[in-house]
Structure 1
Amino acid sequence: MFDWNDLKYFLAVARHRSTIAAGKSLRLSQSTVQRRLAELERAIGRPLVQRHPSGYRLTQFGEELLPLAERIEAAVTDFQRRVNDEAHDLTGVIRVTCPEPVIGRMTKSALVERFQTLHPGLRIEFVTSDRYLDLSKGEADVAFRSGDTDDDLVGRKVADSIWAVYASQGYIDLHGKPATVNDLPNHHLVGFDQSLSAHRASVWLQAVAPESKLTARTNSVLGLIYAVKSGLGIGPLPASLGDAEPDLVRVLGPIAELSRSWRLLTHPDLRHAPRIAAFFDFILLERELVRSILA
């Protein structure tokens, strides 16, 4: 019988395609990952991965086992959640994920301080990433998100997400500003890179200026703000962030096609856990302050 704990090494290598990256994600050495993965393969009796010049790839048998291992991981995560929620009640950490610029606005406001005063046994920990963190796998507890969301998550609307098109004053002095959306193909544009090609801002830019080549590409909203501020081009930004930048000028918008709702989301298994319920209740109570941060 194999060690159930060794499944996490298999999952890490399957996701990262590298034993070095897998070790970093698990906060373990590469040699430990290689040793435990080899032990799992020995116990099972068949190879699960193959090493290639570009990294590790799953064997056909490994591909067949991957979804089963992910189900085991999800079940263990659910088990740990229930145990932790019961044991800690209104004490512990609430891991919150949201866009990096929003974290700065939250920490500068009184929002976090008010929550800590109301619930001294709870602590908010912000988790950032260029991708949507997977709440079903326990990568975070709650998320502030706008736009498309996972149907498996539950939550509440807390604000409207408004986007507009911005330019730096330096860019306007050199190139002028568009009078309408139809003028955008005549300007230098900045936007997201291929990793965010499905983002609504990328889709919209492609629709209104299909022949334009971007002068700068980035993989985050924060990078988009920096690119526009530098004068490389004009681009769509969340109005809450663009309007707060003294060096930026709103040249078009709001853009109706980019408008969405901000939602506070969590996994259904966590929604009624005491610490998560307390955070939801607090955010809804402070909705006006939250709206001023997000909208």
Structure 2
Amino acid sequence: MTTESPSEYNHLETLPTAELLAGMNQLDQTVPLAVSRALPQLERLVEATVARLRAGGRLFYIGAGTSGRLGVVDASECPPTFGVPAGLVVGIIAGGDLAIRQAVEGAEDDAEQAWVDLQARDVNEKDVLVGIAASGRTPYVIGGLQRARRQGLATGAIVCNPGSAVAAAAEFPVEVVTGPEFVTGSTRLKAGTAQKLVLNMLTTATMIRLGRVKGNKMVDMQLSNLKLVERGERMLMDELGIAHAEAAELLRQHGSVRAALAARQ
């Protein structure tokens, strides 16, 4: 439980703001290095996820507290970024949607509830389940992974302690060992940052492998606001060498960057 080890810093309440910020920033710089050491594990999880999604499966996240919220955030960003259906990547948090905004006491301690929550989404053996738990000991996540693995789902985990029960319950664990936090045990800090980085990489690499990026551009993004429409217009201008007015009309006619490019190429 290195995430529970005492902080390398002490007497925090006596430090000026500049020193508090510098200390947190110094520790944060260790996170990408910790993630880099877990890249071989993450590669295996990405490959398994790509294979299941290509075969018609979905990606589910389960977690509690900060870990659960990060999963919900990552899932919610996939449709607008990559143009995939809202149900392709699903984040489930212990305690339900209320827990996204406030703590639901005891929800993470129920080892049976995750599978109940997953059954409500009709999970099956085509799907992938990734459990997210900084500590690696959350009963909600352990129980969900164990039951899902018995039912034939591909199972992954993102944890921040070595040799954890959550990692043991998953076929494709990703262990990013981040060490002690600035405030002892506050895993919304370094551990949360590490989890966010891994989630970014998992879905981005998966969507690229599934053909949802062309070159380096989000050609399937949803044109749901002015910023994204303007981004789409710039993509067409750059790719096709056309003026803004023509790009805007082309995007209006076809409704997506990918469709507009296909119409002209």
TM-score (norm 2): 0.27
TM-score (norm 1): 0.25
> Going by fraction, where is strand more abundant, 1 or 2?
1
> Going by fraction, where is helix more abundant, 1 or 2?
2
